Homo-oligomer: A and B are copies of this chain.
Amino acid sequence: MTDKLIKPVTLKGFRDYLPGPMMAREQLIETARQTYRSYGFSPIDTPALEYSEILLGKGSDETDKQMFRFTDQGKRDVSMRFDLTIPFARFAAQHLNDLGTPFKRYHIGTVWRAEKPQKGRYREFMQCDFDTIGTNSNTADIETLLVIHDLMQNIGFDDFVIRVNHRRVLNGLLEQIGLTEQSTGVLRALDKLAKIGRDKVIAEMTEQVGATAEQAESVLQLAETTGDSAEDILARLETQLASNEQGLSGVACLRELIEACRTVGIPAERVELDVSIARGLDYYTGTIYETFLTQLPGIGSVCSGGRYDNLAGLFTKQSLPGVGASLGLDRLLAAMEELGLCDKSTTPAPVLIVHFDATHTGDYLRIARELRAAGIATEVYPEAKPIKKQLKYADRKGFRLAIIAGADEFATGQWQVKDLTKGEQQTVGEGELVEAVRGVIAAK
């Protein structure tokens, strides 16, 4: 039809998902969805395109540069969403009078950022957020931690730690030692503790932020508080914060959280109080969460979040406090691949019915239908090609077993069931086929 072929390529920073990675991504999304739903979070969606004015909000120059922004056919200044938080803020301001509060939503969607592409970073990726808004109750904060915990467990991780902090603990200390006005600089320095070490953090606080050596030391001491148990740490924090009301209220929130974790049976080693976490400086005002895989601490937090005072201040005068977190879907997928948690198979069906004899197409389709009715996904090879070729196809795709029947088998009503992993083959009457297939799949 065309003389010149168009070269089939994707844009820089974008990629296709082939069946293997896409099945892993679908499974992860499904797990997140089921976990969020089990807590009563409802799904929402917002458009990929919005007015640039809305998405930019009070955004930085960097955000601006990263947005895919253009003028549409109607001369509107529009952009593709670069996160799900600002669209949620706009959504809340627009619909919350109808929806009422408290409002719990999850939102799993694609976002776009024209960042410099680098290993593992793409210009198109998925975010997977959940939030409870319209309540100041610490119960919502505790529940957020439980959701993160269940999410990690349901995905299949055993060894992970959720680190928790409360902004009021840090703010209380700063108030107590007279550093409130320098808090942004102090927390920014503190946030580098793991990267640059104690001495350099103190140097930054004293030389650049204007704290005294004593003040800097107090901040570091609080941030480095450790203990034999969360209860132990809480007691020490209380001592250090003396009678500072703000700080003690933060400790009280953390205490309630730790107690609830004990009551509901979360393993103690999975929740760690860490007063040095100072992430999301401009945004979070209460509890803060970060989640690390014990086997892969280097990849950073895979699920982070916290409490904020006012979600939608750009769009409404109504104050909307809330708490939530975001699952780092792509980072987690990379981790699962590294830990060998991803299936090698590229087919969702365990069973391939070999198309042995073209005069029996209807029978192959009928048997496949019976297996499907029993909940077993089944593919029929579309053509009566040589059996060797069909088994090679089955092997390449990672089918668990093949079912084979030719003229002899149809004459006797017997089917060959071939276990493709073990290479074993059994002869099964048509009436016992479903049970035999179930047996092979379960034996995996």
Give 1 or 0 for each of A25-46: 1 = CB within 8 Å of chain B CB. 1100000010001111111111
Q: Contact at B42–A22, with CB atoms within 8 Å?
A: yes
Report if A440 contacts B (CB, 8 A).
no
Interface residue stretch chosen among A88-96, A178-186, A284-292: A88-96
Query: How many chain-A residues does the 8 Å CB contact rule pick out?
Result: 111
Q: Contact at A349–B264, with CB atoms within 8 Å?
A: no
Report if A53 contacts B (CB, 8 A).
yes
Give 1 or 0 for each of A350-368: 1 = CB within 8 Å of chain B CB. 0010010000011101101
Report if A5 contacts B (CB, 8 A).
yes
Q: Contact at B377–A18, with CB atoms within 8 Å?
A: no
A342 to B17, CA, bound (A): 32
Q: Contact at B362–A9, with CB atoms within 8 Å?
A: no
CB neighbours of A114 from chain B (8 A): 72-73
> A381 to chain B: closest CB distance in Å?
8
Report if A386 contacts B (CB, 8 A).
no
From B23, B38, B43, B91, A378 is in contact (CB under 8 Å) with B38
A71 to B, closest residue via Cβ: B70
Most B CB within 10 A of own CB, among A2, A42, A46, A378: A42
Pairs A-B, 9 closest by C-beta atoms: A40-B379, A263-B362, A70-B70, A19-B42, A40-B349, A14-B47, A37-B348, A17-B45, A8-B94
Report if A65 contacts B (CB, 8 A).
yes
Interface residue stretch chosen among A100-108, A190-198, A222-230: A100-108
Q: Contact at A15–B47, with CB atoms within 8 Å?
A: yes
CB neighbours of A137 from chain B (8 A): 382-383
Q: Contact at A100–B40, with CB atoms within 8 Å?
A: no
Report if A49 contacts B (CB, 8 A).
yes
CB neighbours of A8 from chain B (8 A): 54, 90-91, 93-94, 312, 315-316
Assuming the A-B contacts A65-B73, A112-B49, are A355 and B139 also in contact, with contact meaning beta carbons closer than 8 angstroms in the complex?
A: yes
Q: Contact at A9–B313, with CB atoms within 8 Å?
A: no
Q: Contact at B78–A348, with CB atoms within 8 Å?
A: no
Q: Contact at A382–B48, with CB atoms within 8 Å?
A: no
Interface residue stretch chosen among A140-148, A324-332, A424-432: A140-148
Q: Contact at B315–A7, with CB atoms within 8 Å?
A: yes
A356 to B132, CA, bound (A): 19
A381 to B96, CA, bound (A): 18
Report if A135 contacts B (CB, 8 A).
yes
Assuming the A-B contacts A47-B15, A58-B1, A349-B40, are A265 and B112 also in contact, with contact meaning beta carbons closer than 8 angstroms in the complex?
A: no
CB neighbours of A380 from chain B (8 A): 139, 143
